[in-house]
Structure 1
Amino acid sequence: MATRRGFLAGLAALALPCPSWADVGAPAFLAAAKAGEDYLLHGLNETGDSLFSLSLPARGHAAAAHPSRPLAVAFARRPGTYAVVIDCRTGTETARLTPPEGRQFNGHGVFSADGATLYTSEVIADGSEGRIGLWETSSFRRIGEWASGGIGPHDMKRLGDRLVVANGGIATDPKDRSKLNIDSMRPNLSLIGPDGGLVEQAELETGLHQNSIRHLALDPAGEVAFAMQWEGDAANPVPLLGLWTPGAPPVLCPAPEAEALRMKGYAGSIAWSGDEIALTSPKGGVAMIFASTGAHLATVERPDICGVAVLAGGGFLASDGAGGLSGLSSKGLVRLSQQALSWDNHLVALG
């Protein structure tokens, strides 16, 4: 039976403000890193300063931030066996997600708009058929899964109440990541409805079926920019940036051939800020800036540059494997900070 004391305690709890990202200094970005032999997740402000650093059990890749609570989920590099739920106020691990038997995490995830559900990018280990794992976020219990619409899903973004999934098309060995189907791979973009059904799918033309679709960025109007990694002839440069508006075919955005060759067929990360799109290549040591129309504007050099995200005031923040964080625009790079660590592939913007 409820008591008056318990009732009043409940009212007091309801009156308390819910913890928010402001409680940890309002970080703007999350980024995985390696320092010595330690794997870490950092929360960064707009100028590249680290506000907190949390331990990870193994190499990290991307992360997902809860839309309102100071809670983040860090994902292992694919094929992954962990996702760590972290209370960013205390720096403590509050839960660890393990994929079901026969599944592997694939490096990315995203929360629903209300924060009640976490969606995780996954594959069936044998054959790399794509899955989207569903986890409720009060206790991070798995509540189901959906088909991703293809082989080897990687990045996912929330588009309203739907998900856009980059199905890379590559089947990999579950142990050593070796690629098993390069001759027959078929990447696609899949739009998944709120019930898990496939709403729409876009594929590349036949001659570009070896252009693996890996990472995504959205503009406020709902257009999708996608970054690719070319598995074909390295001497034959192909577009690594594409644009897709659901309901229309994808449009590829070629760079001038000499500039395209500098990317070495590999786009590692992508971000969309206003009228510009940034595409990075750690293998080429360059970042390309495109107009939102898809026209190439500039190529900027920086060894091992990969992570990129939008700055609140416009332009981009970029990270590199030597520990540098820089402002990035079509005018070049401006160094913001330097740390004794190696940033991993991605910067994840909060908000």
Structure 2
Amino acid sequence: MKMQRREFLKLFGAVATLPQAGFAWAASGPQGAAIAAAWRGPNPGDTYYAGVMAADWERKKLEIRHAAALPTRPHGLTPEADGSLLVTGVRPGAWLMRIDRDGKQVQKIDLADETSSARLNGHVVVSPRGDVIYTTETDMKTGRGLIGVRDRQSLKKLAEWQTHGQEPHQLLVDDAGHLMVANGGIPRTAADKKYDLHRMDASLVRLDGQSGRLLRQWTLDDPRLSLRHLAWSHWPAADKKFLGVAMQAEHDDPAARAAAPILAVLDGDDLTIPTRVSDGAGYAGDIAPAYNGGFALSSNQVGLAQLWHPATPDKLTRIVELQEAYALTGWEGPKPGGGVLVSTALGLVRWHPSAKPALLPWPEKMAVDNHWVLVDES
């Protein structure tokens, strides 16, 4: 399976529009990359798996290194220092699983066995000290957003912290060890159906990493923008760190939804929408750091991945245009600067400002899920 010539031209042409950073084109990138991913077979009822795929650029091949069967559809994947992988069920998630570096399920908890009425919202992060993990959750009785604080070894819940909003989705840790949490803000039933969207209450919050105390909360002027996925990026030229927030529009008017922005950026203490350029759908599926302080955003509904950079904050540059462009992960490539690996309907697409674009077809008929992440298998 080959990438069409016009798609290659789109990938190459994107670099010409980017802020110059002294890059030179390389003949080839590093030999390969290992990516933790989740997928199922080609049919909706097929079994879901989580595991690691290995990309070999020289052999032009993508292989499944290991895979573990999952009870239901997953969502987020979190690698651990020992090579294990934490995987959660999709919202409202009823299970949390640990898979070791050989692809064997070594732990699994069922939230139905816990005394709490909370269910998982799909994302996990490990604390800086490595003693606990944090999970985004919703109390199914009250609709309140929660952070589950769990013992990292046993996965048992130790505490619940309020997120001061509803439907918390992704969370990350900042340099001080505090939690950055995206409250999606969408009211949902126990069956995950949206309702009363006029009551949406989306926000970004910073919680104390030791106590869960609210330190700061940010909101946007448009209440119908749901804050969902997060990524950190560093801009060396200005020695600044940004938090990118991928958004999904929930406007009643289809035209307003299609024109809605898909990116918010936290710069210092200011949360802003740097560009009104959209994707024609108002739906960013994933976000990853890319290109010296920028972010890549995927829009699977329209088959598009775009790049934002702080040197040209009012623009989004198209870097990949292929059906089902979805899961993203940052990839350094042959030189620093930040590329991205994109899952598409055809396979893995590699984009980097100093390496030739490449497409590796899937090793078998499969549908890759929303997220994946680069892992170190050394």
**TM-score normalised over the length of structure 2:** 0.78
Q: Would you say the 8 A contact 1:263–1:281 is kept in 2?
A: no
1:119 is displaced (CA, Å) by: 0.7
CA 77–170 in structure 1, closer or farther in 2 if over 3 Å, else same: same
Q: Would you say the 8 A contact 1:127–1:171 is kept in 2?
A: no
Task: Determine whether 1:317 maps to 2:341.
Answer: yes
AA aligned opposite 1:251: T
- The residue that corresponds to 2:41 in the other structure is 35
Q: Would you say the 8 A contact 2:126–2:132 is kept in 1?
A: yes
Distance 2:97 2:155 in 1: 10
CA 163–350 in structure 1, closer or farther in 2 if over 3 Å, else same: farther
Distance 2:272 2:368 in 1: 31
AA aligned opposite 1:52: H
Task: Determine whether 1:265 maps to 2:265.
Answer: no
Among the aligned pairs, what percent are the same residue? 27
Give the SS at the match of 2:270: coil
- The residue that corresponds to 2:359 in the other structure is 335
- The residue that corresponds to 1:227 in the other structure is 246
Distance 1:166 1:235 in 2: 25
AA aligned opposite 1:105: L
**CA deviation map 1:52-85 (0-9, x unaligned):** 211111111111111x212111111111111111
Task: Determine whether 1:141 maps to 2:136.
Answer: no
Distance 1:81 1:277 in 2: 31
Which stretches of structure 1, 4 residues or more, deviate above 3 A after TM superposition?
45-49, 329-333
Distance 1:211 1:249 in 2: 17
Q: Would you say the 8 A contact 1:167–1:214 is kept in 2?
A: yes
Moved more, 335-344 or 277-286: 335-344
Q: Would you say the 8 A contact 2:133–2:149 is kept in 1?
A: yes
**CA deviation map 1:106-137 (0-9, x unaligned):** 01111012321111110011343111111112
AA aligned opposite 1:290: W
AA aligned opposite 1:292: P
- The residue that corresponds to 2:304 in the other structure is 286
Moved more, 71-80 or 94-103: 94-103
Distance 1:136 1:344 in 2: 27
The number of aligned residues is 315
1:35 is displaced (CA, Å) by: 1.6
1:222 is displaced (CA, Å) by: 4.0
Moved more, 76-85 or 284-293: 284-293
How big is the alpha-carbon RMSD for the aligned residues of Structure 1 and Structure 2? 2.2
Distance 2:117 2:185 in 1: 19
CA 323–50 in structure 1, closer or farther in 2 if over 3 Å, else same: farther
- The residue that corresponds to 1:3 in the other structure is none
- The residue that corresponds to 2:106 in the other structure is 94
Distance 1:192 1:245 in 2: 17
AA aligned opposite 2:361: S
- The residue that corresponds to 1:182 in the other structure is 197
1:244 is displaced (CA, Å) by: 0.5
Distance 2:135 2:342 in 1: 25
Larger relative contact order (CA 8 Å, sep ≥ 6): 2
Distance 1:162 1:323 in 2: 39
Q: Would you say the 8 A contact 2:55–2:360 is kept in 1?
A: no
Q: What are the ranges of 5 or more consecutive residues in structure 1 without an aligned counterpart?
A: 1-25
